[in-house]
Chains A and B, each alone.
Chain A
Amino acid sequence: DAGVIQSPRHEVTEMGQEVTLRCKPISGHDYLFWYRQTMMRGLELLIYFNNNVPIDDSGMPEDRFSAKMPNASFSTLKIQPSEPRDSAVYFCASSLWTSGVDTQYFGPGTRLTVL
């Protein structure tokens, strides 16, 4: 298995532009998570899906952030308009909930820089 795939690996954009991050989870996994990691705040959960349905988006910072999962093999995280404070590494992770224990498999991340 190729693992969780994220694209792009790096994104540099200017303030005000729309940014779309993409994720392909591991086949067969029923949970998908989006995280943001910064030195100041560590790894923050933004939103997660179960069977393509958003379950908890309380971590999404504000309305500029939106996430979709149109099918079991694809998810997007969109920021519109982007701001410099959105600069961070964004991780996607997927898991298969088994016997009450959740092992998350992370992608390599997208490093976003907003100028």
Chain B
Amino acid sequence: TQLLEQSPQFLSIQEGENLTVYCNSSSVFSSLQWYRQEPGEGPVLLVTVVTGGEVKKLKRLTFQFGDARKDSSLHITAAQPGDTGLYLCAGAYNNDMRFGAGTRLTVKP
């Protein structure tokens, strides 16, 4: 059983569409991060959220940390083919980071 559950597992959309992916847990995290991983590469950090209810924006990406610090969402506006990749959430847990299984996003031109 994953400490962090991500949904959906797979998502395929057309360029220009909006989407939201989710990261949920029954545990409380002191901070939560989102990474993007492209084929053949390691994950790369997109954002860190630390405060319950926090919202961070990174161009077309909006990240939200749940009030109880147990869940998070990533919303992408007007998706582009360059957004294609595996999106991983990771929570700070017992002095290390635990990763979800990821959402594999494909944006078709």
Contact = CB atoms under 8 A, between A and B. Distances in A.
B45 A42 contact: no
A93 B42 contact: yes
Given A42-B101, A42-B102, A43-B102, A48 B41 contact: no
Contact of B92 (A41, A93, A101): A101
Nearest to B40: A108
Contact of B50 (A4, A93, A101, A108): A101
Nearest to B99: A43
Interface in B30-75: 30-31, 33, 40-45, 48, 50
- Say which size band chain A's interface belongs to: 20 to 34
B45 A107 contact: no
27 contacts: A33-B96, A33-B97, A35-B99, A43-B88, A43-B101, A45-B98, A48-B96, A55-B95, A56-B95, A91-B42, A93-B42, A100-B31, A101-B31, A101-B48, A101-B50, A101-B92, A102-B31, A102-B92, A102-B96, A103-B33, A103-B45, A104-B45, A104-B97, A106-B41, A106-B42, A106-B44, A108-B41
Q: Which of A35, A42, A108 has the largest count of B CB atoms less than 10 A from its CB?
A: A42
Binding site of A, secondary structure by majority: helix, strand, loop or mixed? strand
Contacts of B98: 45
Interface residues of B, number: 23
Interface in B83-108: 88, 90, 92, 95-102
A104 B46 CA distance: 11
Contacts of B92: 100-102
A109 interface: yes
Interface string A34-52: 0100000111010010000
A48 B100 CA distance: 18
Contact of B99 (A42, A103, A108, A109): A42
